[in-house]
C-alpha cells in the first residue's frame, strides 16, 4: 500500500526514481510524485493519477541531481488529487517526505503546529511529519535528531523517507509497521518499500526492522532504533530475478500469474513432499515441531484471498490431522478478544506478509502466549519475521492486484502441512502415499485446464454484460465459490456473491432469474448428487448454470447451460483445479469490459493500513 523509493548515489536520479515507482505501482496508483535536490533546493513534481501521468511532467534534462525520493499513493486521508499527492513539504520547503502508513494522532499534532504558526497545504495525515520535523529541526539543527524526535511523537505506522536541503548529502529512512528495504549497490543506495524497485540495481539488501531508521549517504549507511540505540545489520540476497517482475509477453501480470500456476504450485511443495514415504519435511517448522504435535487447536487468520485459502486449509487439516481448526478474519481477530491458550497454534497466511490486520493478529497471538506460524510469500516480510516459525510458499513476486498464484500455492502448502500434521497423528503411511502421489499430479492437471483457456474466454465474452453473478460450491469447494466471486468483483466491478450451494435456498435464491449466471462447482465427490439438486433449484428459476465438472461427467450436461471440465482428483485437491476456470472467467470478463486488470480501482496489492 503506497510505494516509496529513494536513491543516493552517482546516477541521475529522476529517471531512476520513476522506474522504481513503475515497479511498485501495484502498491497504489492514485497519485505519484518525486522530490530531488537540485542546486541546493528541493524540487518536487507530483500529480494525481498513475506514474505515467507524472512521467509526462518530468523533464529529465532539467535535473542532474543524484539524490531524491518518490512515492506512488493509495489514498487514505484526503482525496487523490495533486495537492494530497506525496512528497509533502515542510512549510519552509526545506524538508520533503514520502510516507506509507497512517499517522493516527495527526489531527492533534496538526492543531498544535497550526497554533504555533505553521501552515499546511494538504488534507493528509502524512504532511504533519514534514512540518513536525521542520519545527523540531529549528530547535535541534540536526536532521537525524529531528526525525527521531518526531517519530517518537507519532502514533500509527510509517515507512518514511526524508530529504532535506539542510543536510543535502543524505536520505533518512524509517519504518514501523510498513516495509522498508535498503539496497546496497556500488557507491549507491536505493531504499524502497519493495524489493522489486531495487533488484535492477542490486541484489544485496538489508530489511529494516520495526522502529528502526537508516541514515543513508553516498559513502555508507548507519542504522539505529528510533530510540537512538545502535542496531546491527544483516545483509541478505533478493531471492527472485528481474524476469519474475516483468510480463514476459503476457498482456497482464494477472494472466501471466494464472499461467505460472503449474510451476508455482509445484514450487510450494518441492523438496518438502517425501512422496515415497507418504510424509513431509518442513524445515521452517522444526523449532515448533513438539508444539505442533501437542496442539489441541489451530486458528488460521488471514484476509481476502488468503482467508479463502485458510478455509480450504481448515477442511484439509481437520480431515487429515483431526485437529479442530478455526478460521478468523484477521481484522476481527484482534478486536474481539479471542480466547487463546498457550498450546494454541495460530497460522497467519499472507501473500505480501505485510497486511496490517494479519500482522496485528500475529502480535495479538504473541501477546497472549500462543504460537504464531506464518505461511507467507514475500521473503523477509514483517509477518515472516514476526512469527515463531513458518513456511514460505515460494510463488515468486505476485504483481497483479488480484491474487491468483498465491492462492493455489497457499493451498499447496496447507495440504502438505495437513499431511505433516496427520502423519504425526493417526494418518497411515499408505494414505499419506496416496495423497502425496495425487499432489504430484496436480501441476499437470492445472496445465490441462489452462490449455482450454480459449473456451473459457469465449464463455466470459458471452456473459460479460451480466451485472450480477452467483458462485456456489459445497465442502472443499465452498471457499472456491467465495474466491471466484471475489475475483469477479475486484477486477470487473460486476457484483458477485459466493455462497455454500445448499445455503442458497435460505435467501440468495430470491435473486435468481433468467439474467443471473450461476457458477456452480459440481465435481464428482460424495456430495455430487446434492449439488445436482442445487443446480435443479437454480434451473427451476431460469438461472443460467455454468458448471465446473469432472472430466467424463456427461450426465451434468443435462442440467447445466455450460460445462467447464477439470481433471479428476482427490476431493481435497479439487479447489486448486476448480479455481483456475474461475480466475480465467474473471480475467477475460474484465478484459472484455475494458477494465484495468492489474490495477483495479480503489485497490492496492498490499494493505498496510487497518
Ligand atoms: O498479502 P495478503 O495475502 O495478506 O493480502 C490479503 C488480501 O488483501 C488480498 O488477498 C486481497 O483480497 C486481494 N486483492 C485478493 O485478490
Grid coordinates of 606: 498490499
Contacts of 172 (CB under 8 A, 6+ apart): 143, 144, 147, 160, 161, 162, 213, 214, 215, 216
| Residue 351 CA, ligand 1 centroid: distance in Å | 7
Is 358 close to ligand 1, i.e. is its CB under 6 Å away?
yes
Grid coordinates of 182: 535498503
| Residue 304 CA, ligand 1 centroid: distance in Å | 5
Work out the number of other CB atoms within 10 angstroms of the CB of residue 78: 17
Is 606 close to ligand 1, i.e. is its CB under 6 Å away?
yes
Work out the number of other CB atoms within 10 angstroms of the CB of residue 53: 15
Grid coordinates of 175: 519504518
- Looking at the CA of residue 355, tell me the nearest atom of ligand 1: 4
Is 331 close to ligand 1, i.e. is its CB under 6 Å away?
no
CATH code for the part of the protein at 3-238: 3.60.20.10
Q: What residues are annotated to the active site? A: 2, 605
| Residue 290 pLDDT | 96
159: closest CA among 133, 125, 193, 184?
193
Is 583 close to ligand 1, i.e. is its CB under 6 Å away?
no
Is 352 close to ligand 1, i.e. is its CB under 6 Å away?
yes
8-state DSSP, 604? -
- Report whether 585 contacts 598 (CB < 8 A): no
- Looking at the CA of residue 302, tell me the nearest atom of ligand 1: 4
φ, ψ for residue 285, nearest 5 deg: -110, 0
Grid coordinates of 253: 501480470
- Report whether 559 contacts 545 (CB < 8 A): yes
pTM to 2 decimal places: 0.83
DSSP reduced 3-state for 553: coil
DSSP reduced 3-state for 184: strand
| Residue 609 pLDDT | 67
Helices then strands, counting H and E runs in the chain, come out as 18, 26
| Residue 328 CA, ligand 1 centroid: distance in Å | 15
| Residue 403 CA, ligand 1 centroid: distance in Å | 6
CATH code for the part of the protein at 246-447: 3.40.50.10490
- Looking at the CA of residue 403, tell me the nearest atom of ligand 1: 16
- Separation of alpha carbons 83 and 206, rounded Å: 33
- Separation of alpha carbons 113 and 549, rounded Å: 64
User: Distance from first CA to last CA of the chain, Å, rounded?
Assistant: 11
Work out the number of other CB atoms within 10 angstroms of the CB of residue 186: 9
| Residue 350 CA, ligand 1 centroid: distance in Å | 7
The strand pairing partners of 163, in sequence order, are 96, 171
Q: Residue length, the chain? A: 610
Contacts of 107 (CB under 8 A, 6+ apart): none
- Identify the helix (H) or strand (E) that includes residue 129: helix 127-140
Among 607, 608, 610, which is best to mutate for testing ligand 1, by the most ligand atoms less than 8 A from CB? 607
161: closest CA among 81, 221, 240, 80?
221
The strand pairing partners of 68, in sequence order, are 7, 36
- Separation of alpha carbons 510 and 219, rounded Å: 68
Contacts of 395 (CB under 8 A, 6+ apart): 260, 264, 267, 268, 351, 377, 405, 406, 409
The dihedral over CA atoms of 494, 609, 126, 193, expressed in degrees to the nearest 10, equals -90
Helix/strand/coil (H/E/C) assignment for every residue in 426-462:
CCCHHHHHHHHHHHHHHHHHHHHHHCCHHHHHHHHHH
206: closest CA among 189, 218, 219?
189
Strands 67-73 and 220-225: unpaired
Q: What value, to the nearest 5°, has the Cα angle with vertex 495 and ends 565 and 573?
A: 35
Could you please report the per-residue DSSP string of 206-259?
A: EEPPTTEEEEEETTEEEEEETTS-B-----EE--S-GGGGS-TT-SSHHHHHHH
The strand pairing partners of 7, in sequence order, are 68, 190
φ, ψ for residue 376, nearest 5 deg: -135, 150
Burial 256-279 (b: 16+ CB within 10 A, else e): bbbbbbbbbbbbbbeebbbbeebb
Task: Evaluate the omega torsion of the peptide bond into residue 87 and state whether it is cis, within 30 degrees of 0.
Answer: yes
Grid coordinates of 447: 496445465
| Residue 518 pLDDT | 95
| Residue 490 CA, ligand 1 centroid: distance in Å | 11
- Looking at the CA of residue 378, tell me the nearest atom of ligand 1: 1
On whether the 452-604 domain is CATH 3.40.50.1100, my answer is no
Is 581 close to ligand 1, i.e. is its CB under 6 Å away?
no
| Residue 31 CA, ligand 1 centroid: distance in Å | 21
The strand pairing partners of 161, in sequence order, are 98, 173
Mean pLDDT by 10 residues, the chain (610 residues): 91 94 83 94 93 88 89 83 94 97 94 97 95 98 98 94 97 93 95 92 94 96 96 90 81 96 96 96 96 96 98 98 97 86 96 94 95 94 94 94 97 98 96 98 98 96 92 96 97 95 85 91 92 90 94 94 97 98 98 92 74
Is 301 close to ligand 1, i.e. is its CB under 6 Å away?
no
- Report whether 435 contacts 419 (CB < 8 A): yes
Residues of the chain with CATH 3.40.50.10490: 246-447, 452-604
Is 303 close to ligand 1, i.e. is its CB under 6 Å away?
yes
- Report whether 102 contacts 76 (CB < 8 A): yes
CA-closest residue to ligand 1 atom 12: 304
From residue 143, alpha-carbon distances to 149, 162, 163, 543, 604 in Å are 10, 9, 9, 65, 32
Residues of the chain with CATH 3.60.20.10: 3-238
- Looking at the CA of residue 352, tell me the nearest atom of ligand 1: 1
- Looking at the CA of residue 304, tell me the nearest atom of ligand 1: 12
Is 534 close to ligand 1, i.e. is its CB under 6 Å away?
no
Is 167 close to ligand 1, i.e. is its CB under 6 Å away?
no
Beta strands in 53-211 (DSSP E): 67-73, 88-89, 95-100, 158-164, 170-176, 181-184, 189-192, 204-207
- Separation of alpha carbons 588 and 585, rounded Å: 5
- Separation of alpha carbons 600 and 460, rounded Å: 18
| Residue 125 CA, ligand 1 centroid: distance in Å | 24
Give the CA count within 13 Å in the CB-facing half-sphere of 532.
16
Grid coordinates of 68: 531524491
CA-closest residue to ligand 1 atom 4: 350
Is 131 close to ligand 1, i.e. is its CB under 6 Å away?
no
Amino acid at each position: 500500500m503506497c510505494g516509496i523509493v529513494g536513491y543516493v548515489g552517482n546516477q541521475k536520479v529522476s529517471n531512476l526514481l520513476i522506474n522504481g515507482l513503475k515497479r511498485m505501482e501495484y502498491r497504489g496508483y492514485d497519485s505519484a510524485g518525486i522530490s530531488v535536490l537540485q542546486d541546493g533546493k528541493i524540487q518536487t513534481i507530483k500529480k494525481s493519477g498513475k506514474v505515467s501521468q507524472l512521467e509526462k511532467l518530468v523533464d529529465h534534462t532539467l535535473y542532474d541531481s543524484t539524490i531524491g525520493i518518490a512515492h506512488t499513493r493509495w489514498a487514505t486521508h484526503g482525496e487523490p488529487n495533486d495537492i494530497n499527492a506525496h512528497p509533502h513539504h515542510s512549510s519552509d520547503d526545506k524538508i520533503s517526505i514520502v510516507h506509507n502508513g497512517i499517522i493516527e494522532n495527526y489531527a492533534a499534532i496538526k492543531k498544535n503546529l497550526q497554533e504555533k504558526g505553521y501552515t499546511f497545504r494538504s488534507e493528509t495525515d502524512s504532511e504533519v511529519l514534514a512540518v513536525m520535523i521542520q519545527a523540531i529541526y529549528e530547535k535541534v539543527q540536526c536532521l537525524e535528531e529531528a526525525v527521531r524526535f518526531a517519530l517518537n511523537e507519532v502514533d500509527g505506522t510509517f515507512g518514511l523517507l526524508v530529504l532535506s536541503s539542510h543536510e543535502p548529502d543524505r536520505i533518512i529512512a524509517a519504518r514501523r509497521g510498513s516495509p522498508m528495504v535498503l539496497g546496497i549497490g556500488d557507491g549507491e543506495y536505493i531504499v524502497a518499500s519493495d524489493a522489486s524497485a531495487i533488484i535492477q540495481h542490486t541484489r544485496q539488501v538489508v530489511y529494516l526492522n520495526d522502529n528502526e531508521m537508516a541514515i543513508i549517504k553516498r559513502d555508507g549507511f548507519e542504522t539505529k532504533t528510533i530510540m537512538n540505540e545502535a542496531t546491527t545489520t544483516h545483509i541478505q540476497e533478493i531471492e527472485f530475478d528481474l524476469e519474475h517482475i516483468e510480463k514476459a509477453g503476457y498482456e497482464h501480470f494477472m494472466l501471466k500469474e494464472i499461467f505460472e500456476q503449474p510451476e508455482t504450485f509445484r514450487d510450494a511443495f518441492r523438496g518438502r513432499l517425501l512422496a515415497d514415504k507418504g510424509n513431509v519435511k518442513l524445515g521452517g517448522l522444526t523449532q515448533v515441531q513438539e508444539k505442533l504435535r501437542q496442539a489441541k487447536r489451530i486458528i488460521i487468520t488471514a484476509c481476502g484471498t488468503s482467508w479463502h485459502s485458510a478455509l480450504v486449509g481448515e477442511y484439509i487439516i481437520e480431515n487429515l490431522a483431526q485437529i479442530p481448526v478455526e478460521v478468523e478474519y484477521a481484522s476481527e481477530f484482534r478486536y474481539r478478544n479471542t480466547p487463546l491458550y498457550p498450546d494454541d497454534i495460530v497460522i497467519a497466511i499472507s501473500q505480501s506478509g505485510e497486511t496490517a490486520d494479519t500482522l496485528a493478529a500475529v502480535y495479538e497471538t504473541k501477546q497472549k502466549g500462543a504460537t504464531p506460524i506464518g505461511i507467507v510469500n514475500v521473503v523477509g516480510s514483517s509477518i515472516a519475521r514476526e512469527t515463531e516459525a513458518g513456511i514460505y510458499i515460494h510463488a515468486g513476486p505476485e504483481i497483479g492486484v488480484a491474487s491468483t498464484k498465491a492462492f493455489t500455492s497457499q493451498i499447496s502448502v496447507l495440504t502438505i502441512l495437513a499431511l505433516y500434521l496427520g502423519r504425526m497423528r493417526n494418518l497411515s503411511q499408505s494414505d499419506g502415499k496416496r495423497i502425496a502421489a495425487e499432489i504430484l499430479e496436480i501441476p499437470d492437471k492445472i496445465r490441462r485446464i489452462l490449455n482450454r483457456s480459449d473456451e473459457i474466454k469465449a464463455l466470459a465474452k458471452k456473459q460479460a454484460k451480466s451485472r450480477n453473478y452467483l458462485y456456489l460450491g459445497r465442502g472443499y469447494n465452498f471457499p472456491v465459490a467465495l474466491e471466484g466471486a471475489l475475483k469477479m468483483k475486484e477486477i470487473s466491478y460486476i457484483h458477485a456473491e459466493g455462497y455454500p450451494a445448499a445455503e442458497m435456498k435460505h435467501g440468495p435464491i430470491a435473486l435468481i432469474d433468467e439474467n443471473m449466471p450461476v457458477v456452480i462447482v459440481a465435481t464428482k465427490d460424495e456430495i455430487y448428487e446434492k449439488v445436482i439438486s442445487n443446480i435443479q433449484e437454480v434451473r427451476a428459476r431460469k438461472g443460467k448454470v455454468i458448471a465446473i465438472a469432472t472430466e467424463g461427467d456427461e450426465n451434468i450436461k443435462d442440467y447445466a447451460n455450460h460445462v467447464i471440465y477439470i481433471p479428476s482428483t482427490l476431493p481435497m485437491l479439487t479447489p486448486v483445479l476448480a479455481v483456475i476456470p474461475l480466475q480465467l472467467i474473471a480475467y477475460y470478463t474484465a478484459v472484455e469490459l475494458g477494465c484495468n486488470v492489474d490495477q483495479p480501482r480503489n485497490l492496492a496489492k498490499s494493505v498496510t493500513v487497518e
